[in-house]
Structure 1
Amino acid sequence: MMLMEMEIGRSSRSLTVEDLEGMPDDGRRYELIDGELLVSPAPGTYHQSAVGKLFTALDQACPDGLVVLPAPYAFQANAHTEVQPDLLVARIGDVTVKKLIAPPVLAVEVLSPSSSVTDFSRKKDLYQRVGVSGYWVIEPAEPRLVAFELDAHGSYDKVAEVGPGEVFEAGWPFPVRVVPGELQGRLRGLQLPD
């Protein structure tokens, strides 16, 4: 089965966050960027393993005043943009029961075959535009981590690109050690059937 991300919503009107409330609860991820609907299939095993391992590492290192939250917890940038990063780190004072309405301090996207173009272009541009201080992209298949941080001009600088045998020692938003080669855990090296 081929996984693909679908863009829907090139209609005559821009969709709003209220329109998302009418989407089916079918296991897919429904997001809006500038009024355009993005629909992604449910994530696969390698993706979820990487998200789980990274959540654990971030959560254990997270200081008081911040919280690590996984998707489907959403970040609403405005009435026409709501996304669900795989993981986000937010100030506790910005968190509501349903969604984050202030930019997270860190957004993390774990790539899957259906999301690589969106995660490396549209979401990166969105996070930069709304002032998300840090953005990490994880490629679980390689494995690889690319980290970006906002510079003084509000643009993302690539601050790290770490491969399978390397260690990423993050300083922002708090000190944490990530080894991309360990994000697959017990699945590392296995060829799972479809």
Structure 2
Amino acid sequence: MVLPQENKLTYAEYLKLDNDIQYEVIDGHIYDMAPSPNVKHQSIAMELATEFNMFFRNQSCRVISEIDVCLWGKKDPSEVNEWVKPDIVIVCDKEKIMKNHIAGAPELIVEILSKSTAKMDKMIKFNCYQKAGVNEYWIVDPAHETVDVYVLENEYYKHVGTFTNDEVINVTSFENLSINLKHVFREDF
């Protein structure tokens, strides 16, 4: 949901707000992140993060869920006026990991759709991540149990494919990493 005011809020000011308030700011528009995602959404996020974490254990890349990401690389919160909160990010440059946020484009971002975020994830964030140079972007659709994978080529996203709950995704950005979606889309939901 877009709040009516233009962004007059810096990331430093945002950090001083009540912890229950969660916003994203993109192109000068403030987006309210409430309410919390449903159980299926959270379960998919946890399963995906687990799969990624198992691969990256003892490696330099970090898998982080629900963290503020300042895509343009600004490290000082008082200079940041745009940030997003993806469901999952993979960051391999430890210089980008700040105390409260990621400063710069992650290697891979995963967004899990909900009714209230579908337009934003498929259009607004898609364009924002593409412009910022995020190497790989996954859009997960819990209702249809699919994952759309996009890879950056010549500054634009190329749609690699739509993968269903019985397929394996070979992650383009990381050699030898594959995610079996039967572990992500469990039948008990």
TM-score by length of 1: 0.83
Matching residue's letter, 1:164 = N
1:168 maps to 169
Q: Is the 8 A contact 2:90 2:106 kept in 1?
A: yes
TM-aligned CA deviation for residue 64 of structure 1: 1.6
The residue identity in structure 1 corresponding to 2:41 is H
Following the alignment from structure 1 to structure 2, what is the Cα–Cα distance between the partners of residues 80 and 161?
A: 33
**1:137-152 alignment runs, 5 A limit:** 137-151=139-153
Show structure 1 runs of 4+ deviating over 6 A.
none
Q: Distance in 2 between matches of 1:171 and 1:114?
A: 29
Given that 2:151 and 2:172 are in contact with CA atoms closer than 8 Å, whether structure 1 keeps it comes out as: no
1:99 is matched with 101
Q: How far, CA to CA, are the matches of 2:28 and 2:13 in structure 1?
A: 10
Q: Where does residue 29 of structure 2 map in the other structure?
A: 36
Q: Using the TM superposition, give the Cα deviation of residue 69 of structure 1 relative to its aligned residue in structure 2, in angstroms.
A: 0.4
Whole-Å separation in 2 of the counterparts to 1:93 and 1:22: 24
Given that residues 108 and 137 in structure 1 are in contact (C-alpha distance below 8 angstroms), is that contact kept between their aligned partners in structure 2? yes
Query: Deviations for 1:81-136, whole angstroms, at most 9, x for unmatched residues?
Result: 11111000002232122111111011110111111100000001000111111101
Q: How many equivalent pairs are there?
A: 179
Q: Which amino acid aligns with 1:66?
A: C
Q: Over aligned residue pairs, what C-alpha RMSD do you find?
A: 1.9
8 A contact 1:146–1:160 mirrored in 2: yes
The 3-state SS of whatever aligns with 1:43 is coil
- Structure 2 unaligned segments of length 5 or more: list them: 73-79
Read off the aligned partner of 1:170 and give its amino acid letter. V
What is the alpha-carbon distance in structure 1 between the residues aligned to residue 24 and residue 188 of structure 2?
29
User: Structure 1 residue 18 and structure 2 residue 12: aligned?
Assistant: yes
Aligned ranges 1:1-194 → 2 under 5 Å: 6-11=1-6, 14-26=8-20, 29-40=22-33, 41-62=35-56, 64-71=59-66, 73-78=67-72, 79-91=80-92, 92-151=94-153, 153-185=154-186, 187-188=188-189
What one-letter code is carried by the residue in structure 2 that aligns with 1:155?
Y
Shift of 1:9: 4.1
Which deviates more from structure 2 when the two are superposed, residues 30-39 or residues 59-68? 59-68
The CA distance in 2 between the partners of 1:174 and 1:48, in whole Å, is 27
Question: Among the aligned pairs, what percent are the same residue?
Answer: 23
Q: Distance in 1 between matches of 2:134 and 2:159?
A: 14
Does the 8 A contact of 1:55 with 1:68 survive in 2? yes
Instruction: Give distance in 2, aligned partners of 1:46 and 1:37.
Output: 26
C-alpha distance after superposition, 1:157-187 (max 9, x if no partner): 0112111222212232343322334424363
What is the Cα deviation at residue 14 of structure 1?
4.4
TM-score normalised to structure 2 length: 0.85
With 39-48 and 168-177 compared, the bigger mean Cα shift is at: 168-177
